[in-house]
Chain A
Amino acid sequence: MHEISLLESVLESLEAQAKQQGFQQVKQVVLEIGALSCVEADALRFGFSAVMKNSVAEHAELVIVKIAGQGLCPTCQQTVLLETRHDPCHHCGSFGVKVLQGQSMRIKELIVI
C-alpha cells in the first residue's frame, strides 16, 4: 500500500500550499495519474479520506485525471498507445517500446476557500 505514502506526500504538499497561499480549506484535489505509473487509482480513492482526516483537506473531493500511456516504437518509429509497459507495438509487433507518456503522478490543481 504505497498509495498511503503517496497520499501522505500529497497532504504535506497541500499543507505547504495552505501556508504559502493563505487558504483554510481544500474543496477539491485534482491528481493526474498516468496509466503506466505504479499506482492504483482505486487504492488512492480508498485511502484518501483516511489520510486527509483532520487536515486542511478533510472532506475534500478527490478527482483523478487519467493520462494514457504512450510510447515510441524503436523498430518502426511510430507512436504507440500503451496499456501496460510490455505491450508490443500495434503497428509492427516489436517489443521494447520506449515510454514517452503515462508514468506521471502529479498534483494538478486544487480548489480552495
Chain B
Amino acid sequence: MCGICGCGSSSKSKFSPLKPHHHSHDDAHSHSHAHETHGERLIRVEQDILAKNDSYADENRAYFQQHGIFALNFVSSPGAGKTTLLVATINALKNTRPIFVIEGDQQTDLDADRIRATGAAALQINTGKACHLDAHDIGHAVQTLQVADNSVLAIENVGNLVCPSSFDLGEAHKVVVLSVTEGDDKPLKYPDMFHAADLMIINKIDLLPYTNFDVARCIEFAKRINPDIEVLQLSATQEQSLGAWLEWLNQH
C-alpha cells in the first residue's frame, strides 16, 4: 500500500515524495448479470490489465507537457551502455539544457552515483525483485527529484529487453540502446521492445571491428518490427561520435 496517495500500490521504491500528487481513478464501470444458480453472478469487466499503470502514465505525460519536460525512457539489456551514454550526454549538454535522471535498478545506488558525479540531479529507484519501472514509481520520483520546467528527464529503466516494453511511464519516446557486442538479431529476439521504441541507438560502434555484428542486418530486423524506428550509431565513450544524438535531442 502506498502511504502517500492511498493508491493501493505495493510501491517498491525506497523514497518519499516531497509533496503529494493527484491520482485519478478508473471510471470504467462494469455490469453484473444473474448467472446460473447457487447465487453466482457474471460480471463483465472489460478492463485493460494495465489500465491503472496507463492512467498514472497519462497523468505523468500531462504533467510533463504542462511543465515543458522532455521525458525519455531508456531501455536495453544490462550492460548496453545506458548509464555511460547518459553521463556523456550530460557532459556534452552542460550549461545548455538541464538534465534530470531517474535510475532504475533492482539493487544499489551505483548508477545514480555515476550520474551525480557529473553534477546532474539523479534519483535511484530500487525495484527490488521487480524487473521494470512503472508509471506510479515515476510520478513520485518526479516530485522527489523536483524536476525543473523545460528540462530533459532521462529515465534509465531496469536493464531488461522484455518487461519494460509493456509499461508506459508517460515518456515522449522510448529509446532502445543496443550495443554491437550483443548481436544483431536482438530486434527479432525481443520484438516487443523494438516495436515500442521510437529510436534505436546502436552503441559501442567503435568495437565493431572486433565483432561479427552486421549493422545493416540489425537495422533491417528492427524495421521489420517497426518500420518507423529511427536509428543512430555512436560510441558513448567517444565524444566525437555523439553529434547526431545531440542533434536529435536538440530537435526534440
Contact = CB atoms under 8 A, between A and B. Distances in A.
Interface of A: 1-2, 5-6, 8-10, 12-13, 16-17, 20-21, 23, 27, 31, 37-39, 74, 84-86, 88, 95-96, 104-113
Interface of B: 8-10, 26, 30, 32, 35, 38-53, 130-132, 134, 162-163, 165-167, 188, 191-192, 195, 221, 223-225, 227
A109 B42 contact: yes
The DSSP consensus for interface residues of chain B is: mixed
A12 B44 contact: no
A89 B38 CA distance: 49
Nearest to B227: A96
A106 B47 CA distance: 5
28 contacts: A2-B162, A8-B10, A9-B51, A12-B8, A13-B49, A16-B26, A17-B43, A21-B32, A23-B41, A38-B162, A38-B163, A39-B166, A85-B195, A86-B221, A86-B224, A95-B223, A96-B223, A96-B224, A96-B227, A105-B50, A107-B47, A107-B48, A109-B43, A110-B43, A112-B43, A113-B38, A113-B40, A113-B41
Contact of B35 (A12, A105, A111): A111
A109 B44 contact: yes
